[in-house]
Chains A and B, each alone.
Chain A
Amino acid sequence: MYYGPHTEEDRQAMLAFLGAETVEDLFADIPAELRLGRPLDLPEALDETALRRLFRGLAAKNADADRFVVFAGGGVADHYVPAAIAPLLARGEFLTAYTPYQPEVSQGTLAGIVEFQTMMCELTGLDVANASMYDGASATAEAALLALDQTKRSRILCPDTLPPDVRATIRTYLSGPGGEVDVVPCPEGSFTSERLQAALAARPGAYAAVVVGYPNYFGIVEDLAALCEVAHRAGALAIAYCDPIALGLLESPGALGADVAVGDGQPLGNAMSFGGPSFGFFAARDRFIRRMPGRIAGLTRDLSGREGSVLTLQTREQHIRRARATSNICTNNALNALAAAIYLALLGPAGLREVATACVQNAHAAMERLRAAGARPAFPGPFFKEWVVELPDPREDAVDRVLAVGLARGVVAGTPLAREYPALSRHLLVCVTEARTREEVERLAAVIEEAASS
């Protein structure tokens, strides 16, 4: 396949206009010794039919959620995605536009961003939100950088109940300015103010921020209000890493004292897509607006007094401020953020609350069912849509056995934890969203029983 329109006549006419014999002449500025001098070694070109065959073949080797019942969680989950989202996102005017540098012909994008920002403020209970980040983890890392900049301190504190990929991302981003991340072990599966207090006291005045999962990686709803208060007493910012679906039901992080709320937007109408693209949201209190990373759209008026919107506060950004920008981010995940705005508009406050409620109800009913199958919850504490089960099978390879039996029975049984939490080597993180059914939970229970007895 080739997508260019030129005929040989077109090319010849253009070359003649340029006074060139062949297209090679237009590459005369590339020294001969730097030319490749051979065709690239790539597989042969394919037409659409052959592409479909190839890609369908690859797709068929994956245990997708159409063919398998997915109980894996840990940041990405099989939530309901309304049918209206995909056709709207497929509109070329959204799909094939770029960053709204020319606001007069980008009002659709800009209005969509302001709507998205409004919805993120409403979900998080905070004053300002940006147009999106790459994902939840990088949004959290940028929030940590903001905290370093704001407090002139160099350490970030988080519990080991903050998702491991989020912790790892913060660590990578902090390696630039030379910041450090300290992780507090929480063997009971949730963070307590006492543990936080002790950790902060161990290095007085050192911590720029405390980052807490809300709910945490194990699904447990941390006592965010208490943690924020303790963080603030130590002069640290409180950053909440949130499941946006949970925010339809739980008190908002802003109301509980968080200074910055971040999270991953996959659950808001985005495909799981093997972990990306989704988007990160980033919301904060007013006073941080000029330190925030990324694009922000704002309302204004045109010459004739019509309301419109523009990218604003751009002096924070790399294309203006260069080495002194608040972040290097340029392209973000705008289309995925638009999916979230459409999702939230389709559901409304009542629908989002229903999704969140169904998650809690399904997950708790499933927890009881798995407990009856011998898979006990590993941690106490109120959980939202996922929890850690300790498998009944005492063998060290219990997790592999459950996963393998699950795949044979059309079930992705959960997220294994051993790589990040060696103490949880016989445990699975199980996620039960609003999209699961009782029958599907029965299948999971049967898988766990079968694996234990095989």
Chain B
Amino acid sequence: MNGEGQAPGAVGLVGLAEPSIYARSRPGRRGVRPPAGFAPEVDVADALLGVRLREVPPGLPETSEPEVVRHFTRLSQLNYAVDTGFYPLGSCTMKHNPRIGEELAQLAGFARLHPAVPEEAAQGALELMWRLEEALCEISGMARATLQPAAGAQGELCGMLIVRAYHASRGEGRRKVIVPDSAHGTNPATAAMAGFEVVEVPSDARGGVDVGALSRALDGDTAALMLTNPNTLGLFDENIAEIARLTHEAGALLYYDGANANAILGVSRPGDMGFDIVHFNLHKTFSTPHGMGGPGAGPVAVRDFLAPFLPVPVVERRREGSRETFRFDWDRPQSIGRLRSHYGNFGVLVRAYAYIRALGAEGLRRVSEDAVLNANYLMRLVARDFDLPYDRLCKHEFVVSAKGLRERTGVRALDVAKRLLDFGYHPPTVYFPLIVEEAMMVEPTETETKETLDDFARALHAIAEEAAREPDRLREAPTRTPVRRLDEAGAARRPVVRYPAG
């Protein structure tokens, strides 16, 4: 469209393509006008004497506001999103994002607040942070929390550095972190980034941690065990109390990856299970928008004895009679330091706190009940066509395998996923967890209707039948999307990661 050498037409709703913004660029075209400044008399060359200024302007597009709005609107239309359809991407908790959170986060008192305003002029922000921390501690069964980490993986890094600092404070240099073979990739990556050696333990026949293997792996050099519970198979590890006992007996700490916390709200708390450190993904469990891959927030809650190691600053409350004031505490000599600038992804914290206040205790418990109900219901529907590697109750998500389908028809989980796109669904997470062949990890979430689940299962059933009848149809899928399967190998072999500028 608009590009030379292309056929005319193919615009509006029939056009499923949108060239780069640079294709709309013409020399001299202008978009918005920034404020001109009040001091045109100041000579910039004088003011910046001795500084090398650009001779060649950066190659940014030269476009108008209507062109920019149209371009990005059209780009948006090429995306699948929770707002446009069912998005059962396992481990990502793609539930509806209440719009009240967007409205509240955009209040000027939050969105237009500079982080360096004096504390007395940010009491509302500090109070919100303090109350969110309090709520997260209650939900997790922990004593204190930091809201600083920007995402789950940064929360993990925060947690692992706390583990290190804790052992160091006791004069111990423990080097090993244990992760199960079903763990998210961020767990081993984080442990390595925090300077630990990663030891993997296998899962047992029921999908939980192999307790025998764990007890053999635990020793005086073990710093921590990182666990997700329910785990990435969507299964609650029934041996968690025993696992916690063994871990603590070895002098190690137990870390809770909160990616799957949507299953346990108000039902069971990581603190009661024996965990010492917990991170939450606010963009998952507390329903702040995923934004195509962020911003998220990954607060970390800890037991009392680990609180001194939390990042600086933490928010403290002071009470004088009925008057409460809030302030930052920077004076924490045992702190692991800072993970980023300022106090966290505050705008995300506002949304998450709004979500918690909207639902209350009863609502949060209902979230987990309905999430688990939806997952078990859908699991039983899907198990008619796909293998269930662990046939037991699941929690908020489940994993099925296309191994049998592959053996019968030659089509793979990837093909099933791609064909789902033609049926108008975002596919589940595929090929994860790594311990299940041809894995498909499905997380329906509590905000989906029974009708949607029924229809999704019917689509999967139709695809399984197609696989037997016309396997090539799956291998060629998708055909109804803006583009078809893309050459990923070619992209990696010869990376072209930018457009030519103008």
The residue in chain B whose Cβ has the minimal distance to the Cβ of A41 is: B138
In the bound complex, what is the Cα–Cα distance between A132 and B361 (angstroms)? 36
- Per DSSP, are chain B's interface residues mostly helix, strand or loop, or mixed? loop
Q: Interface size for chain A: under 10, 10 to 19, 20 to 34, or 35 or more residues?
A: 35 or more
In the bound complex, what is the Cα–Cα distance between A272 and B106 (angstroms)? 11
- Are B77 and A93 within 8 A (Cβ)? yes
Least CB distance, A155 to chain B, in whole angstroms: 16
Contacts of B395 in A (CB 8 A): 29
The residue in chain B whose Cβ has the minimal distance to the Cβ of A440 is: B38
Least CB distance, B261 to chain A, in whole angstroms: 13
Q: A175 touches which one: B336, B359, B417, B486 (CB < 8 A)?
A: B336
In the complex where A42-B360, A312-B491 touch, is A349 in contact with B57 (Cβ < 8 A)? Answer: yes
- Are B339 and A436 within 8 A (Cβ)? no
The residue in chain B whose Cβ has the minimal distance to the Cβ of A132 is: B294
- Are B195 and A177 within 8 A (Cβ)? yes
Q: A348 touches which one: B30, B36, B55, B289 (CB < 8 A)?
A: B30
In the bound complex, what is the Cα–Cα distance between A247 and B59 (angstroms)? 12
- Are B292 and A55 within 8 A (Cβ)? no
With an 8 Å Cβ cutoff, the count of chain B residues facing the other chain is 207
Least CB distance, B445 to chain A, in whole angstroms: 9
Interface residues in B442-469 (C-beta closer than 8 Å to A)? 446-450
- Are A106 and B447 within 8 A (Cβ)? no
**Best-surrounded residue of A84, A320, A345 (most CB of chain B within 10 A):** A345
For the complex, is B120 an interface residue (Cβ under 8 Å from A)? Answer: yes
- Are B58 and A252 within 8 A (Cβ)? yes
Stretch binding the partner chain, chosen from A13-21, A193-201, A202-210, A232-240? A13-21
In the complex where A18-B380, A97-B290 touch, is A320 in contact with B185 (Cβ < 8 A)? Answer: yes
* Mask: chain A, 292-318; 1 = CB below 8 Å from B; 0 = not: 000111111111101011101111011
Stretch binding the partner chain, chosen from A352-360, A370-378, A388-396, A444-452? A352-360
- Are A346 and B341 within 8 A (Cβ)? no
For the complex, is A264 an interface residue (Cβ under 8 Å from B)? Answer: yes
In the complex where A76-B116, A168-B337 touch, is A39 in contact with B48 (Cβ < 8 A)? Answer: no
New contact pairs (20) apart from A42-B139, A65-B108, CB-CB < 8 Å: A6-B450, A41-B361, A56-B107, A58-B110, A64-B112, A95-B81, A111-B20, A114-B20, A178-B195, A249-B53, A302-B486, A322-B188, A325-B192, A329-B154, A335-B295, A345-B21, A350-B30, A365-B38, A366-B39, A404-B118
The residue in chain A whose Cβ has the minimal distance to the Cβ of B367 is: A4
- Are B124 and A360 within 8 A (Cβ)? no
Would you mind naming 15 contact pairs between A and B with Cβ atoms under 8 Å apart?
A: A40-B361, A55-B354, A61-B125, A72-B116, A76-B114, A105-B421, A107-B78, A134-B154, A250-B52, A325-B192, A331-B153, A345-B21, A351-B32, A361-B40, A438-B38
- Are A361 and B450 within 8 A (Cβ)? no
Contacts of A52 in B (CB 8 A): 100, 103-104
Q: A360 touches which one: B47, B104, B157, B289 (CB < 8 A)?
A: B47
* Mask: chain B, 80-113; 1 = CB below 8 Å from A; 0 = not: 1111100101001011111010111111111111
For the complex, is B205 an interface residue (Cβ under 8 Å from A)? Answer: no
In the bound complex, what is the Cα–Cα distance between A63 and B340 (angstroms)? 23
Q: A84 touches which one: B68, B238, B281, B497 (CB < 8 A)?
A: B68
Interface residues in A25-51 (C-beta closer than 8 Å to B)? 26-31, 33-36, 39-48, 51
For the complex, is A287 an interface residue (Cβ under 8 Å from B)? Answer: no
Least CB distance, B276 to chain A, in whole angstroms: 15
For the complex, is A74 an interface residue (Cβ under 8 Å from B)? Answer: yes
* Cβ-closest 6 pairs across A and B: A59-B109, A275-B342, A92-B83, A358-B37, A45-B360, A335-B291
Contacts of B127 in A (CB 8 A): 58, 61
- Are B124 and A61 within 8 A (Cβ)? yes
Least CB distance, B197 to chain A, in whole angstroms: 9
Stretch binding the partner chain, chosen from B210-218, B263-271, B399-407? B263-271
In the bound complex, what is the Cα–Cα distance between A321 and B186 (angstroms)? 10
- Are A26 and B363 within 8 A (Cβ)? no
Contacts of A114 in B (CB 8 A): 20, 497-499
In the complex where A75-B341, A84-B68 touch, is A331 in contact with B449 (Cβ < 8 A)? Answer: no
- Are B79 and A93 within 8 A (Cβ)? yes
- Are B47 and A361 within 8 A (Cβ)? yes
Least CB distance, A431 to chain B, in whole angstroms: 9
Interface residues in A410-449 (C-beta closer than 8 Å to B)? 412, 415-416, 419, 434-438, 441
- Are B294 and A122 within 8 A (Cβ)? no
In the bound complex, what is the Cα–Cα distance between A223 and B52 (angstroms)? 9
- Are B290 and A98 within 8 A (Cβ)? yes
- Are A303 and B164 within 8 A (Cβ)? no
- Are B499 and A35 within 8 A (Cβ)? no
In the complex where A29-B393, A98-B292, A344-B60 touch, is A3 in contact with B96 (Cβ < 8 A)? Answer: yes
- Are B34 and A36 within 8 A (Cβ)? no
In the complex where A26-B373, A61-B123 touch, is A358 in contact with B35 (Cβ < 8 A)? Answer: yes
For the complex, is A86 an interface residue (Cβ under 8 Å from B)? Answer: yes
For the complex, is B316 an interface residue (Cβ under 8 Å from A)? Answer: no
For the complex, is B2 an interface residue (Cβ under 8 Å from A)? Answer: no
- Are B497 and A117 within 8 A (Cβ)? yes
Contacts of A310 in B (CB 8 A): 486, 488, 491
Interface residues in B339-374 (C-beta closer than 8 Å to A)? 339-348, 350, 354, 356-367, 369-370, 372-374
* Mask: chain B, 211-231; 1 = CB below 8 Å from A; 0 = not: 000000000000000000000
Contacts of B304 in A (CB 8 A): none
Contacts of B156 in A (CB 8 A): 328
- Are A330 and B486 within 8 A (Cβ)? no
